[in-house]
Chain A
Amino acid sequence: MQLTYPKDAQQFADEVRAFVKAELPPAIRDKVLRHKRISREEQVFWQRKLCDKGWATPAWPKEYGGPGWTSLQRHLFDEVTSEEGAPAAIPFGESMIAPVLFRVGSPEQKAEYLPRIRTMEYFFCQGFSEPGAGSDLASLKTRAVLDGDEWVISGQKMWTSLAHLANMMFCLVRTDPAAKLQEGISMLVFPMDTKGITVRPIITLDGGHSTNEVFFDDVRVPKSSLIGEVNKGWTYAKLLLGHERSTIARIGNSKRELRRLKAMAAEQRINGVPLIETQSFRERIAQVEIELTALEITVMRVITAADAGALGVEANVLKIKGSEIQQRLTELQLEAVGPYGLPFDVSKGGPESNIGQIGPDGALSLGPNYIITRVVTIYGGSNEIQRNIIAKSLGL
């Protein structure tokens, strides 16, 4: 099902599509479509392409290098680039720390960080969660103590995605242990090669390495690493976690996966009949397509409200439904290939595969992808936490 947009928006979408088709190397596109890992070099390559075109960091104000698009254009850009298999922007620099810097960064910090985030010369990771601080993030224990002109950091972060690829981190640290939990937290930014930082991989159940533990052993960073005011870090964390509401629904990503599901279901056969023509499977595809359409329209409504100003709990709605739809699509894709969902190749059929091609084209990525996509209802504030927020907003 295709929604219609105003003519100029449609033209914009066509322009984006033509650009991606012309500029995105087939090898990268293929990796995205097959759920394979994108290398740091490939990620940076695509970001530089966008920079050259003036389309990088779509949500940034024009003065910092954003393209000055409307919310609708940003939404369409995200959707079309996802559908076409472009690597998704890594949110930590562009969508998380940058908006905080816009608000409270010093002129020096803005001048140093923002242009380099834009080109990905600075590749950021996010030091938030800890072993004892997951959903209850405010209970974090990593300490930072001011010693002369330096902060001295000690403690441990966990689930630090891409810390092994990043060269910068923004980090929440406790600077006032005596204060109320939320009031003794500060935000620091520093290079990952600072002495005393150790990154240890966490291998996830799909066999992949995308997240890490990070240990701080008396790590000394300059006083100027502080973002905004001391002990105001929690406010900034809330600010950045609520940013980029329209892309949280992952509409473009899900549309791409829906298309892939339909292609697989057309190819796979049960007793000679294409799976997509069996009523029960066809109806289940229809069901997720309808949910996705509803969510896309919800996103459009949120965007309209965003242009007008304040937002309520819409971001929470988009996170919950968007993540559930993503999971549903991985479930149906895995089911589509039947017993060929069983072979397990940690490279997801990549060149480093030790088992080679098994079963239908692309089938090897489906099991690992099903498994790892369970994370989308957990990260970024679990769906239980999101529902609590919605319930609270309803006055319960």
Chain B
Amino acid sequence: MEFALNDMQQMLQDTATRLVRDRYSFEQRKQIVAAADGYSPELWSEFASLGLLGIEIDEAYGGSGGSFQDVAVVLDAFGRGIVVEPYISTVVVGAGLIAAAGTEAQKEAILPRVASGEMKLALAYAEPDGRYTASHVATTAKPSGDGYVLDGRKAVVLGADSADMLIVSARTSGATTDPQGLSLFLVERGAKSLDIRAYPNLDDRRAAEVTLEGVHVAADALIGPRDAGLSVLDPALDRGAAALCCEAVGVMSALNEQTLEYLKTRQQFGRPIGKFQALQHRMADMAIAEQQARSMAFLAADQANNPDPAARAQAVSAAKVQIGQSAQVVGRGAIQLHGGIGLTMEYSAGHYFRRLTAIEMMFGDIGYHLARFAA
């Protein structure tokens, strides 16, 4: 595990940090969230021109051929600004999945356009009754002519309403809970009989319920092996979870800084409230939680692309559990130490708390990952 930043990572950190500082103040973020798209298309283009969308994408497809650790640096900075753009859905999960399992034609059609900011992706894997279990798929894909017809419902699909292309898991064989028999398909946003019902999540990002009622796709929409889609899906979900861990550390770090500052400046009983030992100890626990989380985010980034599924799953699940627990200590602690002001919309600390709360419910919660680690 490498803890020091290399030159490339240092440069990415400077770039992303400057971007968040100049373009993502709390006031600017408010406007972005309130706008029609729920994110800033203008900033998305800027991400592209700064090279942030193609970090991991191979140079042959218009990217920089970097590592997951390079992306992790950007995620940390985005966490500090609670950036709402659908970066993880598109860049980490979507493009990562195509790069790992796509056909040459799919890579050529998608990866350069992700890197250039022209295409956004969303992974529609969860289903209404499936919680976090990716193999729980009732959606079907039946052969039809020279392609497939997809029918089913997908739940809480992150970034679906801004995506140009969905990656949908569907059953080509087996029963709903069968780990075998899954396949992945590319579905264009404008596809006939595809309904995307979007809504805001509690972290100000968008998700959607996606309904497919006889959606036709061509044979070349299949990504990866037919009936063995879980072998493609699992690594993508692990990358998503690992990315959340890296981002969460940025969120926690910014929130801890803000809480510490509040303890030093808020006066009650004639002194800063940080002089009270009960509050000092709570703040100390929050600092410890952040450090534990940071350590596990290193592990997650290091193992996110490990081709050994068991080793990767164990590392990522361990990290997601630790991040979830640390996020509770830091998030709830920040609200308690701020008092009422932390629970208002017009103050930023609460929005960091909301993001941490949401991260716990994405790509598997503590219970899910604890069970997976212990299995």
Contact = CB atoms under 8 A, between A and B. Distances in A.
Given A139-B268, A375-B343, A378-B340, A338 B354 contact: no
B244 interface: no
A271 interface: yes
Nearest to A387: B278
A68 interface: no
Contact of A340 (B155, B267, B357): B155
A272 to B, nearest CB: 6
Interface in B357-375: 357-358, 361-362, 365, 367, 370-371
A384 B354 CA distance: 23
A395 B199 CA distance: 54
B361 A341 contact: yes
Interface in A316-340: 334-335, 338-340
A264 B187 CA distance: 34
A339 B155 contact: yes
Contacts of A159: 340
Interface in A270-323: 270-272, 280-281
A38 interface: no
Given A344-B201, A371-B343, A384-B276, A335 B365 contact: yes
Nearest to B127: A339
Name the 6 nearest CB pairs between A and B, nearest first.
A136-B268, A344-B202, A355-B199, A338-B131, A205-B350, A339-B156
Interface residues of A, number: 50
A342 B202 contact: yes
B150 interface: no
B162 to A, nearest CB: 16
B339 A204 contact: no
Contact of A203 (B155, B267, B332, B345): B345
Interface in B311-345: 332, 335-336, 339-340, 342-345
Contacts of A281: 367
Nearest to A158: B340
11 contacts: A134-B339, A205-B351, A280-B370, A339-B132, A339-B156, A339-B362, A344-B204, A367-B357, A371-B354, A374-B343, A378-B339
B343 A205 contact: yes
B309 interface: no
Contacts of B204: 344
B133 A339 contact: no
A374 B340 contact: no
Given A270-B133, A374-B335, A378-B336, A203 B268 contact: no
- B interface, how many residues as a size bin? 35 or more
Interface string B73-115: 0000000000000000000000000000000000000000000
B340 A375 contact: yes
A179 interface: no
B70 to A, nearest CB: 28
B269 interface: yes
A338 B201 CA distance: 13
Interface of A: 129, 132, 134-136, 139, 158-159, 202-205, 207, 211, 268-272, 280-281, 334-335, 338-345, 355-356, 358-359, 367-368, 370-372, 374-375, 377-379, 382-384, 387-388
Given A158-B340, A335-B367, A344-B201, 4 more contacts: A272-B177, A359-B128, A382-B336, A384-B278
B126 interface: yes
Contacts of A203: 344-346
Contacts, number: 125
B37 interface: no
A288 B200 CA distance: 31
Contact of A370 (B155, B268, B357, B367): B357
B356 to A, nearest CB: 11
A29 B339 CA distance: 31
Interface string B264-295: 00011100010010110000000000000000
A300 to B, nearest CB: 29
B350 A339 contact: no
Contacts of A134: 268, 339-340
A205 B340 contact: no
A267 to B, nearest CB: 10
B129 interface: yes
A10 B354 CA distance: 43
A310 B95 CA distance: 68
B343 A372 contact: yes
Interface in B217-232: none
B340 A271 contact: no
Contacts of A382: 336, 339
A148 to B, nearest CB: 35
Given A272-B177, A344-B202, A358-B209, A339 B131 contact: yes
A374 B133 CA distance: 30
B353 interface: yes
A382 B362 CA distance: 31
Given A343-B207, A345-B199, A371-B357, A377 B362 contact: no
A271 B354 contact: no
Contacts of B267: 132
A80 to B, nearest CB: 31
Nearest to B370: A280
B239 interface: no
Contacts of A343: 156, 199-202, 207
A100 B362 CA distance: 50
A377 B202 CA distance: 22
Contacts of B131: 268-270, 338-339
A271 B350 CA distance: 34
A24 B190 CA distance: 49
B199 to A, nearest CB: 4
Contacts of A269: 129, 131
A338 B136 CA distance: 14
Task: Report which residue of A270, A272, A355, A368 has the largest number of chain B beta carbons within 10 angstroms of its beta carbon.
Answer: A270
A343 B160 CA distance: 13
A6 B118 CA distance: 73
Nearest to A133: B268
A183 to B, nearest CB: 16
Interface in B194-242: 197, 199-204, 207, 209
A335 to B, nearest CB: 7
A342 B344 contact: no
A342 B339 contact: no
Nearest to A129: B340
Contacts of B362: 339, 342
Nearest to A372: B343
Contacts of B199: 343-345, 355, 358
A370 B201 CA distance: 14
